[in-house]
Amino acid sequence: MRRKLVVGNWKMYGNLAWNKALLDAAVEGLRDYRNADYAICVPHPYLWQAQAILQGTNIAWGGQNMNQFEGGAFTGSVAPHMLVDFGCSYVIIGHSERRELCNESDPVVAAKFEAAVKVGMKPVFCIGESREEHEAGEAEEVVARQLDAVLTRVGAEGLAKGVLAYEPVWAIGTGRGASPHKAQSVHAFIRKRIASLDSGVAASIRILHGGSVRVANAAQLLSMPDIDGALVGNASLVADQFIAICRAAN
């Protein structure tokens, strides 16, 4: 049985007081729900605060991005070991917003995946097709290409050190997520592709679902055989909603 994992992605939201209220509420609300894993990925400046509040609880924390290099003249960038210094166990890699807005290519995403694993973090590796690709019926082709970039670089054993997140880009932030069955069919396709290389890794790797996961659709999505958790944006910004989704995973 794969243990479910819910990851909150705060994106570029928050401030010290707001973060504290949300983190305190999550700690309190999830204390007695120990049959699933939880993590919250906060903006870099607040990692120390997440660490201070979440340390010793059943909620992990992580970054939303990092540079693939260990150090160097990269103004404004954050190196993998810097996230580790603040206790991060997860880092989101290849989120569609970074692929789109920051031109992160498949090879860059693969390099980041490898760099995160090297310092002992679990990359939450995001894949998913855009609306145009979806409408053209290219979802499988696109996720296969994105997945293969990482598989080529680190192999199936390397992939096993991370977590996958299938997020159809057309569903992100729209309030209109993929239907559970539609989502399941892509998740199954992803697992089958990994199985063609290594059936053990395919059986054990967690494939999260993202894109408008809300309280209303979480339980149904999470009941699908190949959906092992959720990557939650919007709903992770409201304590009661995030807690409810985490409890559904529990």
| Secondary structure of the chain in HEC code, one letter for each residue | CCCCEEEEECCCCCCHHHHHHHHHHHHHHHCCCCCCEEEEECCHHHHHHHHHHHCCCCEEEEECCCCCCCCCCCCCCCCHHHHHHCCCCEEEECCHHHHHHCCCCHHHHHHHHHHHHHCCCEEEEEECCCHHHHHCCCHHHHHHHHHHHHHHHHHHHHHCCCEEEECCHHHCCCCCCCCHHHHHHHHHHHHHHHHCCCHHHHHHCCEEEECCCCHHHHHHHHCCCCCCEEEECHHHHCHHHHHHHHHHHC
Q: Is 167 a catalytic residue?
A: yes
* Smaller CB separation from ligand PGA, 187 or 201: 187
Residue 214 backbone dihedrals phi, psi, to 5 degrees: -130, 175
Tell me the β-bridge partners of 54: none
Q: Which is nearer to ligand PGA, 23 or 169 (CB)?
A: 169
Smallest distance, ligand PGA to C-beta of residue 6, A? 11
The nearer residue to ligand PGA, 197 or 219, going by C-beta atoms, is: 219
Which residues sit at the interface with ligand PGA, rule CB under 6 A? 9, 167, 172-173, 210-213, 231-235
- Of residues 59 and 202, the one with the C-beta less far from ligand PGA: 59
State in angstroms the smallest separation of the CB of 170 from ligand PGA.
10
Residue 95 known to be catalytic: yes
d(CA 119, CA 84): 7
Smallest distance from ligand PGA to CB 197, Å: 26
Choose, from 95, 134, 187, 209, the residue flagged as catalytic.
95
Residue of 104, 129, 133, 167 with catalytic role: 167
Strands 90-93 and 229-232 turn out to be: unpaired
| Shortest CB 126 distance to ligand PGA, Å | 7
Pick between residue 45 and residue 173 the one whose CB is nearest to ligand PGA.
Answer: 173
Name which of 89, 151, 155, 87 is nearest 116 in CA terms. Answer: 89
CB of 235 to ligand PGA, least distance (A): 6
Q: Which active-site residues does the annotation give?
A: 95, 167
